[in-house]
Amino acid sequence: MGELNRRKALVGASGVAALLASGLLPGVAAATGAASGQAPGGPPDPVAATYLRVLLRHTRWAEQQFDAAAGIYPAKDFTFAVVLGNALLLTRPGYDETTAGVSQATLKAHTLATIEHFAASNLLTGGTEWGRKLFFDTTFQSYFLLAARLLWTDLDDATKRNVERITTEQAAYTTALGTGNDPASGDWTPNGLKGGYVGDTKLEEMGVYAQSLAPALAWAPGDPRAKDWREAFGAWSRNETGLPAADLANPRLVDGHPISANTATNLYDTFLVENHGSFGPHYQEELWRTSGRNAMHFLAAGAPLPEVLTAQPNGELLWRSMLLMTSDAGEPLMPMVADREHLYGRDVIPLAFRAQVLGDRHAARAEADLAARLEPYQAYAPADRITKFSGEPKYEPEARAELAISYLLHEWRARQGPVTPVSTTEFDAHAAGVADFGAAPGLLAHRSPTAWAATVTKPGFVKFAWQPHHDDWLFVLGGANPMLLPATNIAVKERHATTYEKVRDGFDGTVGVLRFDAGYAALATLPTGAAVYASTGVAESEGVLNVYNLAMPGVPGLDGDRTYTAAEGKVTLQATAAPTGARTDDLMFTPVTARHVRMLGVQPDPTYGYSLWAFEVRDGDGPDLARAGTASASSAASGKEAKYANDGNAATRWAVSTSDRPRADSWLAVDLGAPQTLDRVRLSWEAAAGRKYRIETSQDGVTWTTVATYPVPALRSTKGWLDIDGRAGIVTGGPNPLTVTGDRVTLSDGPAVPLLAELYPNTEDLAKLAARPKATTTADTVRASVTDGFLVLVNLSGTAATGTATLPQDGGTYRLYRGEQTVTRTGTEVSYALAAAEGRIEPPRFTVRGPVGLKAVVRDASRVDLTAPPGFLPVVVTVTPDGGRPRPVVLPPRRAVPVVFGDVRPYPLADLAPGRTTFPAEPLPPGMSSPAAAVDDDPATAWRPGPDGRLVVDLGAVTAVSAVELAWTPGRRPKASVETSVDGVTYRTASSGPARYVAVRTGWRSGDASLTRLSVRT
């Protein structure tokens, strides 16, 4: 990547003089117009053109923040950072006053006044208003300083001196901290160069320390203190993604320092980043977000990039887990984060950095997809904003700044030659995969080419998530939003995770089985994008899917309505504005006799939860029975206890506690004192009105029965299938109806009962799928489903189960699955033996045409043993391996005949190594090729060790290894030894015993053979 060291500054035609005065070279905007198809001097490519249009329109929002009395954009929420977007627009051609809503001259005056003010008010220049604090002042300093450089010749001398002082003195302050905490930043700490906090892996924190140093290294490289700044910048940057098992295996020098000298333990050992106690891919992006900010200073100054920005230790392994979470909009799906979803403006820069600086064509695809969403998203109310779904105001000026940086990165890239995005099909194939990130992160994820799915067990976020077509605007999955399970606060007692990987099993898939106090539930995900949900019935109203219904023209699916189709008919629900203010709900139902009545929340007001002025219970026009009762609640705010909901005083009310405001299942109950007949309730809500809730009655206050719901279902079906807006298909089996209420789908609307649901990313043949005979099992605890040809078996119990699954099949051709089975008149009967809480996915390894009574034992994908039914004559059958050619086989009476297809891989492979993570990770030592080639099960690829090279394979867990086998390409074999380790730190020379990490150490010399296969056996 030598091209990154060229001294090239970024400047439009109107800003050449400004940047020349600051020592920058002429820019690239005018030079790239012809090559990109843009007008000379215009944006270098269509994505950059989108950024410019969005920034122009966003200027309307920025100008609304301008404080005319003070003559500046305000300090509150770092709003003054809008100056970077302003500076870009002021130094690029094509300024449109109509779109921006302000004249160019006025915008320039506002911008220069703001830069002058905040350059003087920074703590580092003797001011008292802002600055120096690592969290979060230095992030906005980075934007501010870059804006000042873009407008350098328009600044007065005093402001220039202040900008230079902020640049250098921030670096001096940060360096003086050593590896200690910033006393001004509270508990925001990287924990030195160690990191390793559980729940907060410190990637972002180390990145902030590094980014506070980058402007000085770019703009003041001749400062006598620069050597110390460079050392500190390198140490923080190299350790951002530290993992000892990976780092210790990599002697590669980065900026003159070996990666093996890193000390940080920032990540889970499955390369997943946590922040604020949960997995948020938004923070996984932080490595490239800070890199983008930092790189822009170097590139704008015409300075070489530090090597660490383009050779980040372990960065590519982190990116793999990021790809696994990518939505169709290019940004990550986030099942554990509520207020970081759809931050389109803020999520641009990580992709722009990877695409434009690193030349990553897959990131370029994601960036283009995200850019395509920006303008429709920006037009949605509140119009003009670009982080409108986040609760943090500082994200708005930040997103403006990062769009400007992303535009500048495109200008720089245009001089190197554009990065062509891969196709969507290529991206989906590349991003496909599975990962069990472990019980502590609580994520088991699967991205197939047509869907994304996950089992989430992090406390407070428990759910089974599924997004067909990676559509981030179909199902609401973030934070405390339930999916399939009716609530996210159910305590997980046991977690059982199984992964299937194409390289070892011939297909990708996952099964997550969870035990709760009330029973078991499981989700199996298939390579087709389909999924199977099975449950013993863990709660009432199970199988929840909340659907986005917005009018956001330009975003697929958000056309202002959603249509739901079932056997009983079709209903189209219009997008509605979020309800606001107080309301009164009158709910009537069939008369019941009960002592207890309660409101059980399903969806609270998003800000304040639930609050009732009055809760009234009546029989017809009779008196309010609740007045004489005793009220209780799940929680209450001080002075707003439950008793105020039934005291008859319209001026008093009950409200949930502040901490319980986000909780969906808060409740208020009234004990009537004795059984009473009732048929209606009236709820008078304060502004914190429940969006969705149930009215329940009980005889004993323990067992509750639903008598009414709010709102009333728009569609109720008992035929077992549902088409959700042509974007997802559901087939259910269970006694409860399937309902659509507003934007909420409930697959089993009623009491807790066993449920099995098949989830399809398409809506074809749903009625036919629902009507087909279902698979059954001889064990009550075992659920079976054949979905898209895959057999899913799940043991929803704490004891082992054996038995037979009956699989209806027709047409005379029968699918055969691993294990023993017999052909019957209606299909096959498959024997199973499942451990407690085990889930299993079996693909059809063969198909067979043969008589009733034929017995088959499938050993693996290449061998099946066939036995003819009882008789005296030979039987001819036709056997076809999955994806192979048919073969006729003659079966003599009463004798098993092994049928072997030598050209078919014998999935599942007994080898533990294929597909596992390997070290060293990129950047690789000189002369070494990727170690992954030794475990990709491809004889055409091989690992070239390079001089004395060494590789490590991470098996994922400590395993009893019995043997390690090495296969080399033809030629002179290098000296090699096998080492094993349980922790990735300490190794011993051995090829057997307990091990998680298996290493191959070589004395490789030029001309030696390469390692084509590393096998690990148990």
Q: Does the pLDDT at position 197 exceed 90? A: no
Mean pLDDT for the stretch of residues 386-401: 92
Instruction: Return the number of other C-beta atoms located less than 10 Å from residue 960's C-beta.
Output: 9
* Residue-level pLDDT at 847: 98
DSSP string, 811-854: TTEEEE-BEEEEE-SSEEEEEEEE-TT-EEEE---EEEE--TT-
* Coil, helix or strand at residue 977: strand
- Measured CA to CA, the distance from residue 211 to residue 355 in angstroms comes to 20
- Measured CA to CA, the distance from residue 273 to residue 282 in angstroms comes to 9
- pLDDT per residue as tens digits for the range 34-64: 222 333 579 999 999 999 999 999 999 999 9
Give the up-direction half-sphere exposure of residue 953: CA atoms within 13 A in the CB hemisphere. Answer: 29
Q: How confident is the model at residue 721 (pLDDT cuts 50, 70, 90)?
A: very high
> Six-digit token pair at 449?
């080419």
Burial class of residue 280 in the structure, from the number of CB atoms within 10 Å of its CB (0-12 exposed, 13-18 middle, 19+ buried): buried
Mean pLDDT for the stretch of residues 419-438: 97
Q: Fill in the amino acid letter for 122.
A: N
Q: Which of 51, 95, 44, 150 is nearest to 410 (CA)?
A: 44
Q: Which of 10, 24, 146, 165 is nearest to 83 (CA)?
A: 146
Q: Which stretch of DSSP H or E encloses residue 231?
A: helix 226-239
Q: Fill in the amino acid letter for 594.
A: A
Percent residues over pLDDT 90 in the chain: 88
Mean pLDDT for the stretch of residues 526-544: 96
- Measured CA to CA, the distance from residue 850 to residue 283 in angstroms comes to 56
- Measured CA to CA, the distance from residue 350 to residue 301 in angstroms comes to 21
Q: How confident is the model at residue 578 (pLDDT cuts 50, 70, 90)?
A: low
* Residue-level pLDDT at 866: 98
- pLDDT per residue as tens digits for the range 868-908: 999 989 999 999 999 999 999 999 998 999 999 999 999 99
Instruction: Return the number of other C-beta atoms located less than 10 Å from residue 563's C-beta.
Output: 13
Burial class of residue 962 in the structure, from the number of CB atoms within 10 Å of its CB (0-12 exposed, 13-18 middle, 19+ buried): exposed
Q: How confident is the model at residue 580 (pLDDT cuts 50, 70, 90)?
A: low
Q: How confident is the model at residue 840 (pLDDT cuts 50, 70, 90)?
A: very high
User: 100: which DSSP letter?
Assistant: H
Q: How confident is the model at residue 579 (pLDDT cuts 50, 70, 90)?
A: low
Q: Which of 110, 115, 100, 105 is nearest to 153 (CA)?
A: 115
> Six-digit token pair at 10?
């970024």
Q: Are strands 509-516 and 738-741 parallel, antiparallel or unpaired?
A: unpaired
Range from 193-202, 508-517, 695-704, 956-965 carrying the lowest mean pLDDT: 193-202
- pLDDT per residue as tens digits for the range 621-672: 999 999 999 999 999 999 999 999 999 999 999 999 999 999 999 999 999 9
* Residue-level pLDDT at 9: 41
Q: Fill in the amino acid letter for 708.
A: A
Answer positive or negative: Cα dihedral of 460, 465, 469, 474: negative
β-sheet with 801-808: strand ranges across? 776-777, 801-808, 827-834, 819-823, 855-860, 863-867, 897-900
Q: Does the pLDDT at position 523 exceed 80? A: yes
Question: For residues 860 and 907, is the Cβ–Cβ distance under 8 A?
Answer: yes
User: 357: which DSSP letter?
Assistant: I
* Residue-level pLDDT at 452: 98
Max alpha carbon distance in the chain (Å)? 105
User: What is the pTM (predicted TM-score) of this model?
Assistant: 0.90
> Six-digit token pair at 501?
């990987």
Question: For residues 896 and 865, is the Cβ–Cβ distance under 8 A?
Answer: yes
Give the up-direction half-sphere exposure of residue 639: CA atoms within 13 A in the CB hemisphere. Answer: 1
- pLDDT per residue as tens digits for the range 245-261: 999 999 999 999 999 99
* Residue-level pLDDT at 709: 87
Q: What average pLDDT does the structure give for the chain?
A: 93
Q: Fill in the amino acid letter for 143.
A: Y
* Residue-level pLDDT at 30: 32
Per-position b or e across 799-825, b if 16+ CB within 10 A of its CB: eebebbbbbebeeeebbbbbbebbbbe
Q: Does the pLDDT at position 581 exceed 70? A: no
> Six-digit token pair at 868?
């003819």
Q: Does the pLDDT at position 338 exceed 80? A: no
* Coil, helix or strand at residue 147: helix
Q: How confident is the model at residue 274 (pLDDT cuts 50, 70, 90)?
A: confident
* Residue-level pLDDT at 20: 36
